[in-house]
Amino acid sequence: MPSTRQPVLVIAGPTASGKSALALDIAESFGGSVINADSMQVYRDLRIITARPSAEDEARAPHRLYGVLNASEACSAARWRDLALAEVAACRRDGRLPILCGGTGLYLKALMDGLSPTPDIPEEIRQDVRRRCDREGPVALHAALAGHDPVMAARLNPTDPQRVCRALEVWLATGRSLADWQDDPAEGPPDDLTFTTIALLPPRDILYDGINRRFAAMVDEGALGEVRALIARDLDPRLPAMKALGVPELAAYLDGAMPLDTAIESAATKSRRYAKRQMTWLRRQIIIQKELNEKYSEKLKGEIFPFVREFGLTA
């Protein structure tokens, strides 16, 4: 009896591994829609510096959840999961293959494995904690957290304002440790979906060289203008978009705090470190059906496309 589950193809890999090009080629050949699973490519303000697909590429096949949020918004894994599930359902209605494309491990895990329940935080508590953080700093808030919730405080770096604030907000809103919430059983993956993962995991030296060259190209293509426009909006520096790879470094250059070549090298170094963490996560946290130890190029179609057909990944 044929499966009634909707097949979902996942294209995963570190930054600069060629995920977007592979997803687009599969989408064109197999009637698919590419669904973004990158936490920074959801922001419309950051096309260049987040290496979002170009307008020309987006016109070649349906692309979803790219540039759908304003930089003034914060996108959580839970929010992205809801958006992604809606897009997968739309693919089913339209007879298209859903192709998740991205390297944000938390997003992929949220969809494929499910999420532990987390509480809604009243806005007044959230704002009060953020104001305290601005006045007193994250180390002081970490000390306050330790007085209420020593278990969660022990897990957190005192200089990490985002996570310290979140943990304190949860305790103040619920009287319960965020660690307890995280230990609750996960919601579980959707029982009507089946996931097949292709991972691009190139050799580190090749990947790092590509990262270096790509970031320099981003600057040539207008990344400085993107960051300048973002800074002009005077947004909360804790927002995710303000911490996208390359944004703090180019902002420092624009503010006169460092030379451009230093900013580019610093951003590329952080990108390389991030890519290393992505590869480690993928190898440890996700079941990979097809692993390719090189960057994507069209020569790999002969290996990848038969795999897609074999797994029945057709709409």
Cα torsion angle, 68, 69, 71, 75, sign: negative
Residue 173 in any domain: the answer is yes
Per the structure, the complete domain to which residue 164 belongs is given by 123-183
For the domain that residue 99 is a member of, what is the CATH number?
3.40.50.300
Q: Where are the alpha helices (DSSP H) in 176-259?
A: 178-183, 204-221, 223-232, 247-254
* Rounded (10°) CA dihedral 158, 160, 164, 167: -120
Alpha carbon distance 152, 146 (integer Å): 8
The total domain count for the chain is: 2
Token pair 């987040």 is at which residue? 50
In this prediction, residue 1 carries a pLDDT of 41
DSSP-based three-state secondary structure for 260: helix
Question: Which residues contact residue 130 at a Cβ distance below 8 angstroms, ignoring those fewer than 6 apart?
Answer: 165, 236, 238
Alpha carbon distance 245, 9 (integer Å): 26
Q: Are residues 281 and 166 in the same domain?
A: no
Q: Are the beta carbons of 211 and 268 closer than 8 angstroms?
A: yes
In this prediction, residue 185 carries a pLDDT of 74
Burial of 107 (0-12, 13-18, 19+ CB in 10 A): buried
Alpha carbon distance 237, 235 (integer Å): 6
Of 133, 163, 183, the residue that ends a domain is 183
Extended strands (E) in 102-192? none
Q: Are residues 138 and 209 in the same domain?
A: no
- Edge-first strand listing for the sheet containing 63-64: 63-64, 32-36, 97-101, 6-12, 193-200, 290-292
> Which H or E run contains 154?
helix 150-155
Instruction: Determine phi and psi for 197, rounding to 5 degrees.
Output: -115, 130
Q: Are residues 158 and 56 in the same domain?
A: no
Kindly tell me the number of DSSP H helices and DSSP E strands found in the chain. 14, 6
Q: Are residues 50 and 179 in the same domain?
A: no
Residue type, position 240, single letter: P
Instruction: Determine phi and psi for 100, rounding to 5 degrees.
Output: -75, 130
Q: Are residues 12 and 59 in the same domain?
A: yes
- Other beta carbons less than 10 A from residue 156's beta carbon: 20
Q: Are residues 213 and 168 in the same domain?
A: no
Q: Are residues 150 and 299 in the same domain?
A: no
Residue 38 in any domain: the answer is yes
pTM assigned to the model: 0.84
pLDDT in tens, the chain (315 residues): 445 788 999 999 999 999 999 999 999 999 999 999 999 999 999 999 999 999 999 999 999 999 999 999 989 888 999 999 999 999 999 999 999 999 999 999 999 988 877 777 888 888 899 899 989 999 999 999 999 999 999 999 998 888 899 899 999 988 999 888 878 776 777 889 999 999 999 999 999 999 999 999 999 999 999 999 999 999 988 889 999 999 999 999 999 999 999 999 999 999 999 999 999 999 998 999 999 999 999 999 999 999 998 876 654
Q: Are residues 93 and 132 in the same domain?
A: no
For the domain that residue 163 is a member of, what is the CATH number?
1.10.20.140
Alpha carbon distance 83, 77 (integer Å): 10
Residue 269 in any domain: the answer is no
DSSP-based three-state secondary structure for 292: strand
Q: Are residues 62 and 166 in the same domain?
A: no
Q: Are residues 209 and 145 in the same domain?
A: no
Q: Are residues 72 and 208 in the same domain?
A: yes
Encoding tokens for residue 263? 């900013």
Q: What is the DSSP letter of 194?
A: E
Q: Are residues 167 and 129 in the same domain?
A: yes
